[in-house]
């Protein structure tokens, strides 16, 4: 019930933030009044979560608790992908540098191209393969964003906003000519798109 949910959240907050609450045991490692460094807090956070996972695993005799099990399925998919990768990285499962990540993105892109070039007797099977390969590509792109220390959610949100602004510019310019996007050719819209990009560069330079 609601009370049980709230109680569980409060207990988790107290347990995972000993540096915040006066009764937390993390203060025992630092002089009075001195706040722990961010790295110390993160290390303590991961240690506490590792203990929680171990306790959960010990109490579960049917299903082995995995290191990724507590990452919620209802998170935004790009953020969840980044969190899954980060958790795995904390346990040594990661690329050594960003170079292989670029290679992985190129590999996944090539696999999509091959699927599109192949002929399939069953269109459903072809679409399933495409969905699978596109998922791998997007996951690899999230990995690239993680290595570049960029939030994939924020990056895509900005790209969405940029697309909306440029397309709105196309609509406005065409409306000034007494046209709509349905009346214009792709070449006309492409030219206006480039104008919108140039206008963005000019405003940034100013």
pLDDT tens track for 149-177: 999 999 999 999 999 999 999 999 999 99
Least confident among 11-15, 168-172, 196-200: 11-15
| Confidence category of residue 74, pLDDT binned at 50, 70, 90 | very high
Sign of the CA dihedral with 184 first, then 190, 191, and 197 last: positive
CB 115, CB 41: distance < 8 Å: no
H-assigned helices in the chain: 2-16, 38-59, 77-90, 99-117, 123-147, 152-176, 186-205
Biggest alpha carbon distance in the chain? 73
pTM of this structure: 0.67
CB 26, CB 36: distance < 8 Å: yes
| Confidence category of residue 43, pLDDT binned at 50, 70, 90 | confident
CB 196, CB 166: distance < 8 Å: yes
pLDDT at 25: 47
């Amino acid at each position: 019930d609601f009370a049980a949910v709230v109680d569980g959240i409060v207990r988790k907050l107290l347990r995972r933030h000993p540096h915040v609450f006066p009764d937390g045991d993390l203060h025992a490692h630092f002089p009075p009044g001195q706040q722990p460094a961010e790295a110390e807090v993160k290390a303590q956070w991961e240690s506490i979560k590792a203990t929680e996972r171990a306790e959960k695993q010990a109490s579960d005799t049917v299903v082995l608790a995995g290191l990724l099990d507590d990452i919620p399925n209802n998170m935004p998919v790009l953020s969840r992908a980044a969190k899954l990768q980060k958790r795995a990285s904390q346990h040594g499962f990661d690329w050594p540098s960003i170079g292989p990540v670029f290679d992985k993105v190129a590999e996944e892109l090539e696999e999509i191209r091959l699927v599109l070039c192949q002929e399939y007797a069953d269109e459903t099977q072809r679409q399933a393969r495409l969905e699978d390969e596109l998922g791998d590509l997007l996951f690899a792109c999230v990995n690239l964003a993680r290595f570049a220390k960029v939030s994939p959610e924020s990056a895509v949100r900005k790209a969405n906003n940029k697309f909306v602004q440029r397309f709105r510019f196309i609509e406005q310019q065409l409306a000034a000519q007494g046209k709509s996007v349905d009346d214009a050719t792709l070449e006309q819209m492409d030219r206006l798109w480039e104008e919108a990009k140039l206008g963005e560069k000019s405003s940034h330079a100013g």
